[in-house]
Amino acid sequence: MTQAETDLEAYRNILQQAIEDGAPAAGVQMAQEALSAGLSPLAFFRGVIEPVLTDIGERFSRLEIFLPELMRAGMVVKAIQAQVLEPAIRAAGGQNFSEGTVVIGTAQGDIHDIGKNMVALMLQVNGFRVVDLGTNINPKAFIEAARRENADIIAMSSLLTPSMPYIRDTVQLAEGLGLRGRFLLIAGGAPVTRAWAESIGLDGFGEDAVEAVEVCRRLMANRRAAPTHPSL
Amino acid sequence: MKNTTRLLDVLDRVETGPIEEETQWDMMTVPLAVAALQAEFDVNFKPLGETIVPADDALADRVYAAGLALAERLGAFCISTSRRVRFARDEILTALAAAPIEVTVGEGHDRHTERKRRIEDPACMTMKGGGVGTPVPEEIYLAVHQSYAQEPLVDAMINCTLERVYGRELRSRSPWEVLAGWHEAELTRAACRRAGRPGLGLGCVENAVSDVAELSATSYGGFSPNDWHHIALISEFKTDYMALTKLAHLIRTGSIIHAFYNPIYGGSVGGAEGMAIAIVGGCILLQMLYMTNTHSVSPAHPFYDNDTTPEIIRAISVGHQALARNSRLLTDLVITPVAGPGTATLLYECAALAITAAASGTCALIGPRSAAGTHSGHVSGLEARFTAEVGRAAAGISRKEADALVRWLVAKYQPELTARPAGKHFTEVYDLTTLRPTAGWMEVYEGVKAELRGMGLKV
Which of A97-101, A123-127, B119-123, B212-216 shows the highest mean pLDDT? B119-123
Same domain, A118 and A174: yes
Residue B202: strand pairing partners: B157
| CA atoms of B70 and B63, how far apart (whole Å) | 10
Same domain, A65 and A126: no
pLDDT at A162 over 50: yes
Same domain, A75 and A154: no
- Provide the angle, in degrees to the nearest 10, between the axes of the packed helices B89-98 and B57-74: 120
Q: Which of A59, A119, A161 to mutate to test the interface with B (most CBs of B within 10 A)?
A: A161
| CA atoms of A6 and A55, how far apart (whole Å) | 18
Q: Which residues of A touch B172 (CB under 8 A)?
A: 108-110, 160, 162-163
Same domain, A206 and A128: yes
The answer to whether residue B25 sits within a structural domain is no
A20-51 pLDDT, tens digit each: 888 999 999 999 999 999 998 888 988 999 88
| CA atoms of A221 and A205, how far apart (whole Å) | 16
Same domain, A84 and A109: no
The answer to whether residue B67 sits within a structural domain is no
Same domain, A60 and A109: no
Q: Which residues of A touch B180 (CB under 8 A)?
A: 162
pLDDT for B75 equals 97
CB contact under 8 A, B135 and A68: no
pLDDT band of A97, cuts 50, 70, 90: low
What is the three-class DSSP state of B92? helix
Model pTM score: 0.90
- Name every residue in B having a CB less than 8 A away from some CB of A: 22-23, 26-28, 31, 35, 79, 135, 161, 163, 169-174, 176-177, 180, 207, 209-210, 234-236, 238, 240, 242, 264-268, 270-271, 274, 302-303, 305, 311, 372-374
Q: How far B268 CA lies from chain A's nearest CA (Å)?
A: 6
| CA atoms of A112 and A164, how far apart (whole Å) | 13
Same domain, A108 and A41: no
The answer to whether residue B87 sits within a structural domain is no
pLDDT for A95 equals 65
Query: Please, is B202 exposed, middle or buried when counting C-beta atoms within 10 Å of its C-beta (0-12, 13-18, 19+)?
Result: buried
The answer to whether residue B101 sits within a structural domain is no
Sequence-ordered list of residues with C-beta below 8 angstroms from that of B171, at least 6 positions apart, any chain: A109, A162, A163, A165, A166, B177
The answer to whether residue A202 sits within a structural domain is yes
Same domain, A106 and A14: no
Mean pLDDT of A159-187: 93
Mean pLDDT of chain A: 88
The stretches of chain A forming alpha helices (DSSP H) are: 3-21, 24-36, 41-44, 50-61, 67-80, 86-91, 114-125, 139-148, 164-176, 194-199, 209-225
Same domain, A105 and A218: yes
Beta carbons of B364 and B330 less than 8 angstroms apart: yes
Same domain, A66 and A126: no
pLDDT at A230 over 80: no
pLDDT at A145 over 50: yes
B24-73 pLDDT, tens digit each: 898 889 999 999 999 999 999 988 888 999 999 999 999 999 999 999 99
The answer to whether residue B108 sits within a structural domain is no
pLDDT band of A228, cuts 50, 70, 90: low
Domains contained in chain A, number: 2
Which residue in the set A60, A114, A163 is minimally distant from B235, CB to CB?
A114
Nearest to B355 by CA among B395, B384, B323, B413: B395
Domain end marker among A62, A91, A120 = A91
Domain end marker among A91, A117, A146 = A91
pLDDT at A135 over 90: no
Domain end marker among A58, A91, A124 = A91
Nearest to B255 by CA among B247, B264, B267, B266: B247
Q: Which of B22, B27, B28, B262 to mutate to test the interface with A (most CBs of A within 10 A)?
A: B27
CA triplet A106, A109, A111: central angle to 5 degrees?
50
The answer to whether residue A96 sits within a structural domain is no
Same domain, A70 and A106: no
pLDDT at A229 over 60: no
- Per the structure, the complete domain to which residue B387 belongs is given by 115-454
Please report, for the domain that includes residue A215, its CATH number: 3.40.50.280
Same domain, A130 and A186: yes
The answer to whether residue B92 sits within a structural domain is no
pLDDT at A232 over 60: no
Domains contained in chain B, number: 1
The answer to whether residue B338 sits within a structural domain is yes
H helix and E strand count, chain B: 16, 19
What is the three-class DSSP state of B428? helix
- Per the structure, the complete domain to which residue A112 belongs is given by 101-225
Please report, for the domain that includes residue A61, its CATH number: 1.10.1240.10
Determine which of A122-126, A132-136, B148-152, B398-402 has the lowest per-residue pLDDT on average: A122-126
Mean pLDDT of A165-184: 94
pLDDT band of A96, cuts 50, 70, 90: low
The answer to whether residue B63 sits within a structural domain is no
Q: Which residues of chain B have pLDDT under 50?
A: none
The verdict on ipTM greater than 0.90 is no
CB contact under 8 A, B23 and A132: yes
Q: Which residues of A touch B162 (CB under 8 A)?
A: none
Please report, for the domain that includes residue B212, its CATH number: 3.20.20.460
Q: How far A192 CA lies from chain B's nearest CA (Å)?
A: 8
pLDDT band of A227, cuts 50, 70, 90: low
